[in-house]
Structure 1
């Protein structure tokens, strides 16, 4: 049986970031195993697929702290402005980096590119073992250790097991960690698109009667599209020809970026809120999508997960000799409670507010957008969440 200080189940964004941050924070003193079931082709890895993510200003600060931002920055496209609007209605607001005196509101990265770069870093670190393809089959815990049996037949042991294995976490299920689920009755269609006008590092969130449409700036004037809609429409939209798809998107989004001229490969996934009722157990912690999977409406999911990672690393730094002891996990649980609750509630409220065409709610959201655009004190909470400057 091989002994580690920490075993991380899941080698996608949260798991890899955690492994690299732990190595940096401990100056290489922690021996870490990352258990990942998918092969190394990051273009096909479900955690490093064709999707893009927006890294908030606060997330970039965290990545910079652990020496990871210098690796990702060349791959990133900055967001200078965010335009929020409600289709067919007057309500809108703009958020600008210049007004907030920051270099950028955030950055957009393509997950497949991040996966390749993080893999290179992990491969070069002697005290991180990347066990792939392999997966967790069973877990046994004693007072001071957690033992993990892998699908390969190997057995490994550690002071702490961390679930970073995404929504529907195998580790959480094996340990009977309770969860709650809410179906938003929406699906997201994702693709990269090109427009006739330059995006000029602007991002857009447009709310329609069918669901939100988000566009994030990418290199070569591409934009990452997340188009939310009722599940009954997904197969039809996915099956449209490129020209028909672009025409339908044009009708939903409008002409703020000129004409949509190209669309790449399309994919879709259901939008469901999944939350674990608690994020720790005996010698066990949960981070990222394994702890909570959010609607993409405000781009909060990954940024919330990175705050999970950073808080756990900081608690472990206090007790490197035994990272799985109770006071480490109790500290992590307490630190994450408020941020998790507030971000989950904010995201869910936005979904219900902006996906509902009841006249009273439509009026309320447009008045709210108008007020935020004219009253800075009302805009402040949205700006704080957008920048990811959250107490943790």
Structure 2
């Protein structure tokens, strides 16, 4: 039975970044295994319908620190301008990278591109063993190590298991880690759209009576749409043909990008705030969406998870350099302690924005529009929120 210092369950961006960060920080002295259930299809690309994710400025800097960003940057689309508005009301504000003196406020990457990049990096690593396609079917823990049985029949052992397998983490379930769940009573509708005016690096957050609507600039003049609506409204919207959908979207968003002229396939998923009651246990830690899943408003969830990744990597590296046991509860407690403040503040900010901007009571509408106008007039109000949104926070 092969033993690894760290076994990471989940080889998407969070899990793969952790593996590569540990390899870089420890100069190949840690043995690492990554278990990933889905093997990418190297010869297929969803084309127009490729899903995307927004990386904050802070995330790009962290990836640069471990020499990954230059490759990812080659297929990213920078966000240089963010426009925030409230439909049917006067409140709006704008933010530019020039005003903040940064290269970009964030970046949009397509998941297919970034997935292939990470898969190839893991495959080419001499110090990381990639089990793919494979999943974990059983875990047994004792004092000094844990044993994992894989769907392939292989059995491996490790000093530390890291769950990086997404919002409904099977690993956390096997470990009997309980979660706290809050149903936002909203559904996110996802699609790529094309407008008659090229977005040219401009992102939009539009608050409507049904929920927030975000457009992120993508390659080839497309925009990535995330539209949060009530479950009842989602059924109606998902039933539309393309023309009816574009017309409905046009009414909700307006004409700042001209006419909506094309849409791809629509996907949807219910929105929850899920948070594990504990992020660590005996020889176990959770990162990214396996630790907490946020509402997509302000695009904080994935970037919060990347800060989990680097904090855990630094704690493990510190223990390894002092010849300690990286799976000890003392080491994992340091990780949990480091992450608590950032996690609480980001979750609170995100949930607060949902409660403010998805509530159409008259006092709330007046309050948020006054706030948007104040932010637009007095730019110093914007700095703390902007720094957190950009991932420029202590971790």
TM-score normalised by L of structure 2: 0.96
Shift of 1:29: 1.4
For residues 85-111 of structure 1, give each alpha carbon's deviation from its aligned partner in whole angstroms, at most 9, with x where no partner exists: 000000011111111110110100011
CA contact (8 A) 1:147 1:157 kept: yes
Query: 1:229 maps to which residue?
Result: 229
> Which consecutive unaligned segments of at least 5 residues does structure 1 have?
none
Is 1:13 the counterpart of 2:35? The answer is no
Query: Does the C-alpha gap of structure 1 residues 43 and 60 become closer, same or farther in structure 2, counting only changes over 3 Å?
Result: farther
Runs of 4+ with deviation above 3 angstroms: 42-45
Residue 374 of structure 1, CA deviation:
1.3
**Which residue does the alignment assign to 1:348?**
351
Q: What are the residue-to-residue correspondences of 1:219-368 with 2, within 5 Å?
A: 219-320=219-320, 321=323, 322-368=325-371
- Give the RMSD, CA atoms, in angstroms: 1.5
Compare 85-94 and 225-234 and name the one that shifted more. Answer: 225-234
Cα distance in 2 between the residues matched to 1:40 and 1:223 = 24
SS in structure 2 at match of 1:89: coil
Aligned counterpart, 1:28:
28
| Matched-pair contact (CA < 8 Å) for 2:281–2:329 | no
Task: Measure how far apart 1:42 and its partner are.
Answer: 7.4
Matches within 5 A, 1:132-171: 132-171=132-171
Q: What does the per-residue CA deviation read over 1:211-255, in whole Å, with 9 as the maximum and x for residues that have no partner?
A: 111000011111000011111222332232211111110000000
Q: Does 1:386 align with 2:378?
A: no
Q: Return closer, same or farther for 1:43/1:250 CA change in 2, 3 Å cut-off.
A: farther
How far apart, CA to CA, are the structure 1 residues paired with 2:152 and 2:194? Answer: 44
Q: Structure 1 42/283 Cα, relative in aligned 2: closer, same or farther at 3 Å?
A: farther
Q: Match of 2:211?
A: 211
**Distance in structure 2 (CA, Å) of the matches to 1:42 and 1:173:** 31
Partners of 1:42 and 1:112 within 8 A in 2: no
State the TM-score, normalizing by the size of structure 1.
0.97
Question: How many correspondences in the alignment?
Answer: 389
- C-alpha distance in 2, partners of 1:168/1:51? 19
Q: Distance in 1 between matches of 2:42 and 2:24?
A: 24
